[in-house]
Amino acid sequence: MTLLDSFLARATLAGIGTALAAAPLGCFIVWRRMAYFGDATAHASILGVALALALDVPVFGGVLLAALAMATLVSVLAGRGFAMDTLLGVMAHSSLAFGLVAVSFLDGVRVDLSAYLFGDILAVGRVDIALIWGGAVLVLALIWWRWSAILTATLNPDLAHAAGIDPRREQLVLTLALAIVVAVAIKVVGILLIVALLLVPAAAARPFARTPEGMAIVAAGIGVVSAAGGMQFAYILDTPTGPTIVCVAAILFLISGTLDALRRRLLR
């Protein structure tokens, strides 16, 4: 019996891979205040599910295509005079609604919407593990390759222009990375909780990091602990696994905030 023969081992590996992919990207979403951007991209993925099922192609491919299309569309419309928060709110909820309606039109196809909305990590197989870890490696490679450029464009667009860096190009790199994370995370935490897995570990890491690189590393550690801890608690308490992973991340965020508040009070 190999390690991957155990469904708990496969689920834990899937959670850890997703957390490692989401952590550094989540830091950029926190720095750029792009939470709604992540929501719009994640919610559009239900359209990808409907497309994949209708065309009888792998769900991963449909979700990746839909997420990438939505993220690109939002990036293009961002500079066209639209109020960004309104645009993202409209597109996020509209795409989710249209996706749910589209799924209902699929005749002869049984669709467990809860598995896509909240994740079904216990059902991951060997192919899912390969896709998740392949996506994680690709995202980490993209972020590592463009780290300095993306960071400069995030912190100071004017300085980026002066250094010959195109902020819009770096935005597209983040868009691609976000689409990949959404595609790999849908099986683990589901459409409605993907953004939480991106944001919460990064937010929890913020008080403990003195450098951007340090924040990304700490966020990855918190994400891994959340995934592994959430798996264990879900098994012990018989609770939904995806939401439990996010609950553990939220508890770590509360602990992080409390420790930071205590540290600030002691320094006074």
Q: Can you give the pTM of this predicted structure?
A: 0.85
What pLDDT is stored for residue 171 in this prediction? 81
Q: Is the pLDDT of residue 86 over 90?
A: no
Q: Give the pLDDT mean for 20-36.
A: 84
Three-state DSSP at 78 gives coil
What pLDDT is stored for residue 113 in this prediction? 72
For the domain with range 3-195, which CATH number is right: 3.40.920.10, 1.10.3470.10, 2.60.40.10, 3.30.870.10? Answer: 1.10.3470.10
For the chain, the average pLDDT equals 83
CA 62 to chain centre: 17
The Cα–Cα gap between 19 and 4 comes to 19
Q: What are the residue boundaries of the structural domains of the chain, listed by start?
A: 3-195
Question: With bands split at pLDDT 50, 70 and 90, how would you rate the model's confidence at 3?
Answer: low
Residues 198-212 pLDDT 10s = 899 999 998 888 888
Residues 224-254 pLDDT 10s = 999 999 988 988 998 888 889 999 999 999 9
Residues 109-154 pLDDT 10s = 666 677 777 788 878 888 888 888 998 999 999 888 988 888 888 8
Amino acid, res. 179: A
Q: Is the pLDDT of residue 184 over 80?
A: yes
What pLDDT is stored for residue 82 in this prediction? 61
Q: Is the pLDDT of residue 72 over 80?
A: no
* High-pLDDT (> 90) share of the chain, %: 15
CA 178 to chain centre: 7
Decide: 47 and 203 in contact? Cβ < 8 Å. Answer: no
What pLDDT is stored for residue 58 in this prediction? 81
Which residue in the block uniquely carries the two structure tokens 């926190």?
30
What pLDDT is stored for residue 108 in this prediction? 63
Give how far Cα 1 sits from Cα of 5, 6, 100, Å: 6, 8, 40
Is 104 buried (19+), middle (13-18) or exposed (0-12) by CB count in 10 A? Answer: exposed
The Cα–Cα gap between 4 and 15 comes to 14
- Nearest one of 110, 119, 267 to 193, comparing CA atoms: 119
Listed in sequence order, the residues at least 6 apart from 266 whose beta carbon sits closer than 8 Å to its beta carbon are: none
What pLDDT is stored for residue 64 in this prediction? 83
